[in-house]
Structure 1
Amino acid sequence: MSDPFGRAIRDHYRGEREAPLVDRDGERTREHPIERWYFGEFEGDEWLESHLDGPLIDMGAGAGRDALYFQDRFETVAIEVSDRLVATMRDRGVVDARRADMFSLPEQFERDRFRSAYARGTQVQLAGSMAGVERFLSDLAVVTAPDATAVIDGYAPERDATADTFGYREDPAPGLAYRVYHCVYEDEVGETLLFRLFSPDRLRAAAVGTPWTVAEVRYPRSDRPVQWVVRLEKA
């Protein structure tokens, strides 16, 4: 399977990257800021840490930046779908880095395995549809404890500034949009990524019928609030 994203990040970690990782949306391009997004130091956040506990599942863990921080505090399992990213996390010292798909959790982990769940990087919006988000929430409920919490983030179609986000596509329905682009590294082209952007209100609606409720919504960047962070609790 083509994996320009994982290959570029692994090459960067090993000091072997000579070309940029490029995100492409038609004729539009941007250089992916690998060092800043994946290898910068993760600084603990008092609010975040107050709502996470171990065992923790870090979904879409990238190069392991956040997992390295949390594993010093409690058991942390970091998952990624790229073998190269898993290898990079292990090389960097992530104790439990695994190749696993966050959208098929019950096939990979036992019931009630985790006390909390974490996905920062808008990965949940790769569910592709609101039906997919509902399935994800139901599956996440299976592998988390009855009193579990989860913290996830996403782009905010309810905010006007989000329309300037790379790959943004409008949707006439309130609180919904899309984001579409693919990655290119050297001569390798990745599959098209389809993000279903949804507002916290849409997330609340998707959670109906699952054990989760939206307990808190934050917009961390007051200067340009194009992303939300949500805390979920089991009902």
Structure 2
Amino acid sequence: MNDLLNQLGLVGDWLTSPKQWRGAEGIPQRLLEHLTYSGLSLLFAALIGLAFGLLVGHTGRGAFAVAAVANLARAIPTFGLVVLVVTLAGLSTTPVLVALVALAVPPILINTFEGVRGVDRATRDAARGVGMTEWQVLARVEVPMALPLILLGLRIAAIQVVATATIAAYPGLGGLGRFIVDGLSRNDYELVVGGSTVVVVLALLVQVAFTALRRVVVSPGLRVSVSRP
């Protein structure tokens, strides 16, 4: 027990050390790199997942493709995908982004599709009955009612990307994973646990941000319709 407390104390000293908060290898710079990978990946994944999820959910065409994506997502090995893409495309930021986007698209696509398709048919028919166009039905009826599931998919993808972006360090890139990789290579316990702690805190902050966003943009009557995982 005393050894554990001593180790935790050393990690605390590492996190509060001024030298860890400045320079090219400091926490702010690594955090910026991590957020860059994560933010760009989530942006591209959202553009793809939302577009196809809304289209397939509204029209009902291509549902088999969504099911195929869902099954494929369960079989993709995260680290293996990154290594494969980097091996084929070379060591740069782009291959890592491609791998992270591929991992983030499925939860966004699936939850968007399920949210739109789950809207009551009578509600859609009533909207059409008052003269709404198909675009208006989607934008004014289906999307607002599907918003809890859409945000859930985005939240799952965001947390997954933030956690997975640590493996960007294995092919030689930066980010918070650099602390973990370097710490393992040096047998530096403080560096490994310190870097892992920062990643965990970042993931928790993402969770809090999406929870707050959900309270702002989703009407109270719809919040209870989606259970929190």
- TM-score, L = length of structure 2: 0.25
Answer with 1 or 2: which has the greater Rg: 2
Q: State the structure with bigger RCO (CA 8 A, min sep 6), 1 or 2.
A: 2
Q: Which has the higher helix share?
A: 2
Q: Which has the higher strand share?
A: 1
